[in-house]
Copies of this chain bind each other. A is one copy, B any other.
Amino acid sequence: MPATVKNAPKRATAQSMAKKQREISISEFFTKNRHLLGFDSPAKALLTTIKEAVDNSLDACEEAGILPDILIEIIPVEVKKNGNGDKTLTLEPEDEKPKKKGAVAPGKEEQYRVVVQDNGPGIVREQIPKIFGKLLYGSKFHSLKQSRGQQGIGISAAGMYGQLTTGKPVVIYSRTQDQDIGHRFELMLDMKKNEPVIKKDEEVNWEPVHGTRVEIELTGSYKRGQHSVDTYLEQTAVANPHIRLTYRNPRGDEMIYSRAAAELPIQAKEIKPHPYGVELGILMRMLKDTKQRNISGFLRKEFCKVGPKACATVVETAGFTPKKSTRHMEQVDVKNLMDAINSTKIPNPPTDCLAPIGEELVLAGLKQRFEADFYTSVSRPPSVYRGNPFQIEVGLAYGGDIPADKLAQVLRFANRVPLLYQASACAVHKSVLSNNWRSYGMQQSRGALPTGPLIIFVHMSSVWVPFTSESKEAVAHYPEIIKEIKLALQEAGRHLQRYIRRRVREKDALKKQSYIQKYIPHIGIALQEILALEESEKEEIIATLTDTLERSRKL
């Protein structure tokens, strides 16, 4: 059967193919697959860079208990060309003020220097090169706790993109509370090795008492509209009322988003994994890595919510003794242990690892942004997917100034970060689409969003948001997550339904009332003529009839 084609051109063999097989570095991988990180167009690259830097700043401030005060600047960089064959690169001096309003055509591909500066705790000097010059390095990946960043890729990828498009290093200033002086680094990323290359490392006088400033020069495109930096910062302010943002766009306009809440959100706590989410392979690895010598210690210390009773039940169900060593367990033993865990009742994971926005603040956010006739919000109780606690919040705004002839607008947030791209790939979108909005009195075409004056706000908070790609633009379609979003939408939808029905009823009532007011007098006149009534008798009959009809209408 193995039919080799005759007269084929020189084809490969197992040996010739083996010569081409080699390792791919993670930086090479992401350079080629930059759309995975959100750098597939100049406009998106600009947004992603700012988003990654701001997310990191907010995370660091909150973790250190500091009310965030962030400066964001997008400074146009002019690349001058002096005639043919004699091109030189002239950069704007670092301290020159940005151009006056309207100097840069929006939407054009340009070179920008992006600056994000925070009042956070600063970064210890030794860590700066790896954090900004190495992909897959960070503190959040291994911790189960709600935070904006989670992969250890974002900011170093932004620097890599800047390097790719302009050849310029990333510049970092940082100062920690205990230092009298700041540090300034210029960093490149070695793409074959995925390691930082330090171009400059110097001490500088830097005014802030503590904080971090990152400057990335990149090819980008500054646009307004739905997917813009402006929209991202605006929505970030809505979902984070405790922050203060100062934003200077490339035209030199300055916008300030002031603090609407003087307190930090409750700090999310780090948790251990829940035993229900663990898989055989992970369990095998955990047993190999643990410092606990016996199985009881392992279950109690490496997981959350395993109390003495649950621990004893698991151990007994698996057919072990409590002191069984964690070393040298066979695949069959581990399988028994996993089955025992899954057949034992263990409480749900703690939810203090989550910091939801809260129904009140969701309402407040919507009211601040949209002039509507009706608002509602729903916070679901925390739930669990693959051992990870998460919580869904939904808000609706209806009527008022919201356009009535367009599709409803969906605002998506994950851990307080607005998601602007890839709406249709998102679990939120899918849940909204598959909800039956007609039953609430909305219009909806098959396979489309509902049509009408409606804003749908959905927030997922979790210790681990499963994004569909590293660029963190859409939530993956986990059934548990979709179910929770749907339940929240349905609850909020029922509030909306009551409002729409009441409005329809009121309209009907008004119509009936107007009929009564219109026809009763004529009936009065007709009765007067037929029965030859006095004027006063007629008035009396009219009053009685109106009263009776009104009462029956109200029933």
Contact = CB atoms under 8 A, between A and B. Distances in A.
Interface of A: 1-5, 8-9, 11-15, 17-18, 20-26, 28-29, 31-33, 35-36, 40-41, 60, 63-67, 69, 79, 81, 84-89, 119, 121-124, 126-127, 130-131, 134, 136-139, 141-143, 151-152, 160, 163-168, 176-177, 191-192, 208-211, 263-264, 267, 279-282, 284-285, 316-319, 331-332, 334-336, 339, 407, 422, 424-425, 429-430, 445-449, 451, 464, 466-470, 474, 476-479
A31 B138 CA distance: 17
Nearest to A88: B332
A189 B95 CA distance: 52
B36 A470 contact: yes
B424 A429 contact: yes
Nearest to A164: B281
Most chain B CB atoms below 10 A, which of A24, A122, A177? A24
Contacts of A467: 33
A31 B282 contact: yes
A317 B21 contact: no
Contacts of A40: 466, 476-478
A85 B316 CA distance: 7
Given A2-B209, A8-B264, A87-B339, 13 more contacts: A2-B69, A4-B67, A5-B67, A11-B267, A13-B64, A14-B124, A17-B60, A22-B139, A24-B137, A24-B138, A24-B141, A84-B317, A165-B279
Contact of A468 (B176, B334, B422, B447): B422
A448 B449 CA distance: 9
A424 B428 CA distance: 13
Given A2-B69, A35-B466, A40-B476, A317 B164 contact: no
Nearest to A388: B32
A470 B471 CA distance: 12
Given A208-B2, A279-B164, A9 B446 contact: no
A334 B167 contact: yes
A11 B11 CA distance: 63
A164 B121 contact: no
A65 B11 contact: yes
A452 to B, nearest CB: 12
Given A335-B89, A425-B468, A267 B9 contact: yes
A177 B11 CA distance: 14
Contacts of A138: 21-22, 24
Nearest to A85: B319
Contacts of A280: 164-167
29 contacts: A1-B119, A2-B69, A2-B119, A2-B208, A4-B66, A9-B65, A12-B65, A14-B123, A14-B177, A17-B64, A18-B126, A21-B138, A22-B137, A23-B130, A24-B136, A24-B152, A29-B136, A31-B282, A35-B478, A79-B335, A85-B317, A87-B335, A164-B280, A166-B280, A167-B331, A167-B334, A445-B445, A446-B448, A447-B449
Contact of A21 (B86, B122, B137): B137
Contacts of A192: 285
A-B residue pairs, 10 tightest by C-beta:
A425-B425, A164-B281, A11-B65, A445-B445, A424-B424, A20-B139, A8-B65, A18-B124, A14-B176, A24-B136
A383 to B, nearest CB: 17
A69 B141 CA distance: 43
Contacts of A85: 316-319
Nearest to A337: B87
Contact of A425 (B88, B151, B474): B474
Nearest to A135: B24
A282 B32 CA distance: 10
Contacts of A32: 141, 464
Nearest to A319: B85
A512 B174 CA distance: 83
A86 B141 contact: no
Nearest to A174: B14
A318 B319 CA distance: 76
Contacts of A136: 23-26, 29
B166 A123 contact: no
Contacts of A211: 2
